[in-house]
Amino acid sequence: MGAEKEFCDIYDVNKRPIGKTVDRAAIALNDDEYFLIVSAVLVSVDKKILITKRDRKKLWSPGMWEIPGGGVKSGESSLEAIYREILEETNINLFGRDCKILHTQKRKTVEGNKYFADIYCFEITKDDIKNIKGQEGEVSDYRLASIEDIKETAKGNKFLRYEDLKDFLYKCIS
């Protein structure tokens, strides 16, 4: 039995849903259409950031380090998606917690599709850290890293979208 299809909503240039959904595995958008992803900078009390390593079986960027997140499903809000994705990928339950900061970036995939990236910043507790468990097939490893550690990882081209994220990472720890 094949994998279940996952659909996402499509947005206009102002991040308003246009009433169209597409299969996430086969996104082909017009120039004025965007999809939406979410990710989160999870900051510990000692200003370390939780980073996760993409499983080697992942189709896109296997084995790369990143901040956790994923796609927003059709009918789901950005906030609902980040709560779900973080719980799935790290076993950290953020439901009901307020984010410290939210930032939205416009980006492009290698195929040329445009998307919005909602990047959240949350503070995590010692209990959260104690209960971290990477999602099988998604996350092969995780660690708490300082900004300097992340910068070093990025120098080896092993951290996804560091240049897009670096300013936001600094905001989250300040």
Match 């468990």 to its residue by tokens: 133
Among 173, 167, 164, smallest CA distance to 144 is for 173
Give, for 10, the enclosing helix (H) or strand (E).
strand 7-11
CA–CA dist 174, 172 (Å, integer): 6
pLDDT at 97: 93
Query: What's the rounded mean pLDDT across residues 112-120?
Result: 93
Say if strands 34-43 and 65-66 run parallel, antiparallel, or are unpaired: unpaired
Residues paired with residue 80 on neighbouring β-strands, in sequence order? none
Residue type, 67: I
Q: Tell me the per-residue pLDDT of 18-68, one tens digit each, with 9 for 90 and over.
A: 999 999 888 888 889 999 999 999 999 999 999 999 999 988 899 999 999
**Cβ contact 122:40 at 8 Å:** yes
What size, in residues, is the chain? 174
